[in-house]
């Protein structure tokens, strides 16, 4: 007898993750809190496609960035176009604004977005190939007060969700006026420590020396301590912008640390950059990063309109949001006999029509068995439908938390279940 070959089950792709129903409640709680906060600050939701022309990210994210050089999911479609699964959100929003001429509408414009991003990163705890971001962007406001407002807004979201132990790091990376000078000095000095750098950073001394500060290799971090810092090279405009930004944060009473090495992994930042980091997640400590990008819209052929935003990594953020018991809200209908089952189905329909979530037992089981199942499934209430209940049109409603039980009509069940506590 020939043996049937064993089939290997298909599993999720490395670096991707299923979000199971037991975890989804927390995702929804965080998303609802974020929506609520963004609403208070006047943000509108925008949704753009998951894939875009590859050129968009090459141009926007930057040709020397790690994302573009190493991490993009790029493919050719059947029509021969080069497409890329979005690795970040900002270039897509800028494209959409130009394409739909949203810049003609009143400024400043505030957008938020939730969704998956794709990067061919080295998977590990807190680092995935498909991960999710909450992203916000503001266009058309040069005032450093808005830089402080978005940091304050992110902080408000953390507070709302009870997150603590977060350090806020801020920096200025200068602008097209002061950065070229700094770049020249930095490149010259980076060449002096060339032999101490990893291969990747040696390449960066030529392509983009600022990126050396992003490197996590111990030797590079130590060696780069001696390199000049951008904060010593800021032009008067950038210096004043940074000073005003910090003084607004001081007035808000937000604690922060100036970190001159904070250059962020993207090429487009100008002036303000910031990051929220936690000590509780090990190496992948950044839960949120952002900054100003005053030149991107113009580089994309749009108007000279400045922008600023941040992206929060959902997976890492969820890891620092305290868990909460998600209270059960649904009602379970148990019944005895065929007629009672039919009445129960009508009752379920009646209650659902009044926004009361309910489940109904379909298998023939003893009453005790049904009640124990309802309790295992986490029902908040049980309704018992037996012969007497069918005759009288009144049903036993049991509150699973208090054990209290009473007979009610269908309408009274609605009121009793809706009553808080
Ligand atoms: P970035 O778009 O690189 O500025 O990242 C913004 C935030 O997204 C980071 O602070 C992280 O929280 C999150 N993030 C970035 N890359 C990944 C990844 N590969 N896996 C999980 N989260 C990520």
Structure confidence at residue 266 (pLDDT) = 67
Mutate to test the pocket of ligand 1, among 131, 312, 319 (most ligand atoms within 8 A of CB): 131
**Rounded distance from Cα 12 to ligand 1 centre (Å):** 20
Residue 65 near ligand 1, beta carbon < 6 Å: no
Structure confidence at residue 157 (pLDDT) = 98
Q: How many residues does the chain have?
A: 421
pTM: 0.89
Say how far apart CA 263 and CA 314 lie, in whole Å.
22
Structure confidence at residue 365 (pLDDT) = 87
Residue 62 near ligand 1, beta carbon < 6 Å: no
Q: What is the DSSP letter of 137?
A: E
Mutate to test the pocket of ligand 1, among 125, 286, 287 (most ligand atoms within 8 A of CB): 286
Maximum separation of any 2 CA atoms in the chain, in Å = 92
Tokens at 208, concatenated = 């983009």
Structure confidence at residue 211 (pLDDT) = 83
Whether 27 and 19 have beta carbons less than 8 Å apart is answered as yes
What are the backbone dihedrals phi and psi of residue 159, each rounded to the nearest 5 degrees, phi first?
A: -65, -40
What are the backbone dihedrals phi and psi of residue 162, each rounded to the nearest 5 degrees, phi first?
A: 75, 30
pLDDT in tens, 124-140: 989 999 999 999 999 99
Structure confidence at residue 280 (pLDDT) = 84
Tokens at 215, concatenated = 């490197």
Structure confidence at residue 389 (pLDDT) = 87
Q: Which residues in the chain show pLDDT less than 70?
A: 1-4, 265-266, 420-421
Which atom of ligand 1 is found nearest the CA of 121?
Answer: 19
Nearest Cα residue to atom 20 of ligand 1: 127
Tokens at 193, concatenated = 């420590």
Residue 288 near ligand 1, beta carbon < 6 Å: yes
Say how far apart CA 68 and CA 207 lie, in whole Å.
13
Structure confidence at residue 420 (pLDDT) = 61
Structure confidence at residue 361 (pLDDT) = 86
What are the backbone dihedrals phi and psi of residue 189, each rounded to the nearest 5 degrees, phi first?
A: -75, -30
């Amino acid at each position: 007898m020939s043996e049937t070959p064993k089939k290997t089950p298909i599993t999720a792709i490395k670096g991707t993750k299923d979000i199971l129903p037991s975890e989804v409640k927390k995702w929804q709680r965080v998303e609802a809190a974020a929506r609520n906060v963004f609403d208070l600050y006047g943000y509108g939701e925008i949704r753009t496609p998951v894939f875009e022309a590859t050129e968009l990210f090459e141009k926007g994210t930057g040709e020397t960035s790690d994302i573009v050089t190493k991490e993009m999911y790029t493919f050719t479609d059947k029509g021969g176009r080069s497409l890329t699964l979005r690795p970040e959100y900002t270039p897509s929003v800028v494209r959409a604004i130009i394409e739909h001429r949203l810049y003609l509408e009143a400024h400043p414009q505030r957008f938020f977005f939730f969704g998956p991003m794709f990067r061919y990163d080295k998977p590990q705890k807190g680092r995935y190939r498909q991960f999710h971001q909450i992203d916000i962007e503001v266009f058309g406001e040069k005032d450093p007060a808005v830089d402080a407002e978005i940091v304050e807004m992110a902080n408000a979201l953390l507070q709302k969700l009870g997150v603590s132990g977060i350090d806020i790091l801020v920096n200025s990376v200068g602008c097209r006026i002061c950065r070229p000078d700094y770049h020249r000095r930095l490149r010259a000095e980076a060449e002096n420590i060339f032999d101490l750098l990893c291969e990747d950073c040696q390449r960066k001394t030529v392509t983009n020396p600022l990126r050396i500060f992003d490197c996590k290799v111990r030797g590079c971090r130590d060696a780069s301590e001696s390199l000049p810092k951008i904060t010593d090279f800021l032009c008067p405009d950038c210096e004043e912008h940074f000073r005003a930004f910090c003084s607004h944060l001081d007035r808000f009473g937000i604690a922060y640390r100036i970190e001159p090495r904070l250059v962020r992994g993207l090429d487009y930042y100008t002036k303000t950059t910031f990051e929220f980091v936690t000590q509780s997640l090990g190496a992948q400590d950044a839960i949120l990063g952002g900054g100003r990008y005053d030149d991107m819209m113009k580089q994309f052929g749009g108007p000279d309109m400045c922008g600023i935003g941040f992206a929060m990594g959902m997976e890492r953020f969820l890891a620092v949001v305290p868990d909460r018991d998600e209270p059960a809200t649904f009602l379970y209908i148990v019944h005895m006999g065929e007629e009672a089952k039919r009445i129960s189905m009508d009752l379920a329909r009646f209650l659902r029509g009044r926004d009361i979530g309910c489940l109904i037992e379909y298998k023939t089981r003893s009453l005790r068995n049904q009640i124990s199942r309802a309790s295992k499934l986490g029902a908040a209430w049980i309704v018992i439908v037996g012969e007497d209940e069918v005759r009288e049109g009144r049903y036993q409603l049991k509150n699973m938390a208090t054990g209290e039980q009473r007979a009610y009509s269908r309408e009274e069940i609605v009121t009793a279940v809706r009553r808080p506590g």
